[in-house]
Amino acid sequence: MKKILAGILFLMVVCFGANADAVSWNIINDDFDSLSGWGNRNLGSGVAEINPPGYLHLDSTEVGNNNAGAIQQWTIIPNNYVIGVRTYFQSLGTGGDTSYTIGIANTPIMLFIALQSNGLYIYRQSNPTEVGNDIVLLQQWQDWQFDVRAPNLNEAQLDVYLNGNLIQSNIPCGSDWVNVNGFAYLGQYSYLTHTESYTDYFRLGVNNPVPEPSTMLLLGSGLIGLLGFGKRLIKS
């Protein structure tokens, strides 16, 4: 009996733990073995390539002009979604036109995230808001997650996680710059500054509902109760 109870409790812990990471990366889940599915949006002499194998290399090689290495992908995007990306910046600039940019278009909202040498910026219309304090670091890997809730432009917000830690929540975001649905892109932009980056993966998905602790407790109590009732029936 004790072994059965322990087994039930173990299953509860496993089930609850599995649901703690509730993101389903069912829209885009790319480890960059290739650029299959992505289109090229290079400007000037910008570079977008797989180099070394397994990594997206974006390089704006020409310093004198506005140029970029960028990729894009068309897909269906819901109002609420999650972005996951792992980045390494060899060099970055300090303005929106010299940044590593993540863009998601979901009519009528365009999400614009800029990672620059002087910080992470979330755009609300044309107004950037810095998240944290100079949290973008050069020449080391960083894992980013952005949980976006955008039922409409007025209520669009996101939460920012860095290396698994919540940095800031409920940040206003989004603009009405474009009227395009289902568009995701990554870009390494530059103007009068050489910028270069590597991306390990890019993911786009949705949050799955997480069972409340009280629900899990109720379920476990019910299973234990049924087990006890069955044992009494066997004895009788």
Closest by Cα among 188, 137, 138, 144 to 162: 144
Residue listed under structure tokens 């599915």: 37
Q: How far is CA 173 from each of CA 135, 155, 203, rounded to the nearest angstrom? A: 19, 9, 19
Given this model, what pLDDT does residue 5 score? Answer: 45
Given this model, what pLDDT does residue 63 score? Answer: 72
Fold of 23-208: Jelly Rolls (2.60.120)
Burial string for 145-158 (b: 16+ CB within 10 Å, else e) reads: bbbbebeebeebbb
Closest by Cα among 197, 186, 83 to 140: 197
Closest by Cα among 130, 128, 131, 178 to 153: 178
Spatial contact of 103 and 178, defined as CB atoms under 8 Å apart: no
Over the chain (236 residues), the average pLDDT of each successive run of 10 is 49 45 91 92 84 95 77 92 97 86 88 95 94 95 97 94 98 86 88 91 90 53 51 53
Q: In sequence order, which residues have a C-beta less than 8 Å from that of residue 219 and are 6 or more positions away?
A: 12
Given this model, what pLDDT does residue 228 score? Answer: 56
Q: How far apart (Å, rounded) are the C-alpha atoms in residues 218 and 21? A: 21
pTM of the model as a whole: 0.81
Would you tell me how many other CB atoms lie within 10 Å of the CB of residue 61?
14
Given this model, what pLDDT does residue 90 score? Answer: 95
Given this model, what pLDDT does residue 61 score? Answer: 75
| Identity at 192, one-letter amino acid code | L
Q: Where are the domains of the chain?
A: 1-22+210-236, 23-208
**Could you give the 3-state DSSP secondary structure of residue 158?**
strand
Closest by Cα among 208, 89, 76 to 142: 89
**Could you give the 3-state DSSP secondary structure of residue 22?**
coil
Residue listed under structure tokens 């194998």: 53
Spatial contact of 184 and 71, defined as CB atoms under 8 Å apart: no
Given this model, what pLDDT does residue 180 score? Answer: 75
Q: How far apart (Å, rounded) are the C-alpha atoms in residues 75 and 30? A: 13
